[in-house]
Amino acid sequence: MTSITASITSRRRSTAAAVTGTALAFTALVAAPAASAHSTPAPAFTCGPAALPTGYSDALDKLVYNGAQIGGLSSLTYDPVAHDWIAGVDNHGADPARIWSFTDLSHPAIAGDPLVLKKADGTPYTGQNSDNEGLAVLPNGDYVVSSETEPSIRVYGRDGIQKSSLPVPARFAVTGTTPAGQATGNATLEGLSIAPNGREIVAAMEGALSGDVSAADATAHRFLVYTLGRDGAWKLTKQVGYRTDPGMRVAEATLYGNNEILVEEASFTPAVGNGVKLYAVTGLGASPDVSGYADLSAAPAGSFLGKQLVADLVQCPTLGATAKQPQTNPLLDNYEGLAFTGEVGDLTGVSLISDDNFGATQITRVLGLAVDLPRG
């Protein structure tokens, strides 16, 4: 089969046959969603400047497993201990907080009963006291989960029992809580990821703090960077600044290197639908600490991470997908989880999962991309 590197060379000579070979070679070699009966081979880099689609699956949409409906999936990562893909449920009424496991992303299937997340006393967290948006697996197998409710970052053992939590500055608390913070409800710690070296965790704020918003600028966001100390404890070492495009929020931020992050920016307009852009960010380690700025919107340009657009999902071919609500591109939905599925040549497999909010007009969908990511 044509190699990715050879296919990219052919693609740059603009041959349609090589474009198809690139997509097919990638889906055959990387555990990302593959082209199926309802997807067609896509031309290269049609999802923005550096991405092409490899397929999608709606197999999880409104699926019921042992009486529990699958939905509200707001995170996605690989669990190397179980050798499964896992996704967390953000919240659903009084239901217990859950992590679901899938056997693969090409044809997603439930791998067994979900893991229920519990307090140290064994009482389950529920959708009434947690809103779990971010998920990562530590080198020792523990789960790290960020919740938008407070917000919080909690560490759970393999049995789902909470073991500890990471410190979150008081100003990141939701406005109206005691003590009062500067974060907007349902717009706090949305993104969560651990570096390949296992020694850094990045937690990304979905929205801007009220103290960082001016009449002319609401794009200044803060990411929290934690480092593993020699004593085995996670310490908050700095805050870094990130600017979204106007009108966009941070839906996910996933490290693809020790200093590189793929940031998902998202938007939703009822008459238009969802918008999703993926930006590559390099130089995390060299980025300045912005915790000393009371108003990040007024900070100099050098205070913010640089970003490079690699994908605009609205530009993707539809792949024959259908939508249950107005969408500029019916392939789009409320994508909130993002994971890397492997590398072939110059391309990296990226899978996104959408949060249907347990709603009739939204879809739980897994979308696969092959992306040319820059390295810092």
Stretch among 22-26, 105-109, 177-181 having the lowest mean pLDDT: 22-26
> Are 291 and 239 in contact, with CB atoms under 8 Å apart?
yes
- Rounded Cα distance between 157 and 143, Å, is 6
Q: Which residues, 6+ apart, have CB-to-CB distance to 104 below 8 Å?
A: 31, 85
Q: Residues 244-266: what's their mean pLDDT?
A: 98
Strand partners, 147: 132, 152
Strand partners, 276: 266
Coil, strand or helix: which one is 184? coil
User: How many structural domains comprise the chain?
Assistant: 1
pLDDT of residue 60: 98
- Pick from 364, 367, 371: which is nearest to 100 by CA? 364
CA 19 remoteness from chain centre: 27
Per the structure, the complete domain to which residue 198 belongs is given by 46-371
- Pick from 10, 107, 189, 75: which is nearest to 368 by CA? 107
- Pick from 313, 328, 325, 308: which is nearest to 367 by CA? 313
> Are 32 and 106 in contact, with CB atoms under 8 Å apart?
yes
Q: How many CB atoms lie within 10 A of CB 242?
A: 26
Cis before 374 (ω within 30): no
Stretch among 21-35, 163-177, 221-235, 268-282 having the lowest mean pLDDT: 21-35
- Pick from 255, 242, 234, 220: which is nearest to 287 by CA? 242
Within a domain: 35: no
Tell me the pLDDT tens digit for each residue of 114-147. Answer: 999 999 999 999 999 999 999 999 999 999 999 9
Coil, strand or helix: which one is 19? helix
Question: Percent of the chain having pLDDT more than 90?
Answer: 85
Within a domain: 16: no
Q: Residues 151-179: what's their mean pLDDT?
A: 94
> Are 95 and 76 in contact, with CB atoms under 8 Å apart?
no
**Between 142 and 33, residue with greater pLDDT:** 142
Instruction: Tell me the one-letter amino acid at 41.
Output: P
Within a domain: 28: no
Phi-psi region of 201 (alpha: psi -120 to 50; beta: other; left: phi over 0): beta
Residue 274 scores a pLDDT above 80: yes
- Pick from 162, 155, 123: which is nearest to 140 by CA? 155
- Rounded Cα distance between 133 and 136, Å, is 11
Q: Residues 5-15: what's their mean pLDDT?
A: 28
Within a domain: 67: yes
Within a domain: 201: yes
Phi-psi region of 62 (alpha: psi -120 to 50; beta: other; left: phi over 0): left
- Rounded Cα distance between 263 and 204, Å, is 9
Within a domain: 37: no
Mean pLDDT of the chain: 90
Q: Residues 326-339: what's their mean pLDDT?
A: 98
Within a domain: 1: no
- Pick from 200, 92, 192, 188: which is nearest to 149 by CA? 188
pLDDT of residue 367: 98
pLDDT of residue 41: 44
Confidence of residue 360 (pLDDT cuts 50, 70, 90): very high
Task: CATH number of the domain at 253, please.
Answer: 2.115.10
Tell me the pLDDT tens digit for each residue of 196-211. Answer: 999 999 999 999 999 9
Q: Residues 66-74: what's their mean pLDDT?
A: 97
pLDDT of residue 376: 76
Residue 237 scores a pLDDT above 60: yes
Within a domain: 282: yes
pLDDT of residue 339: 98
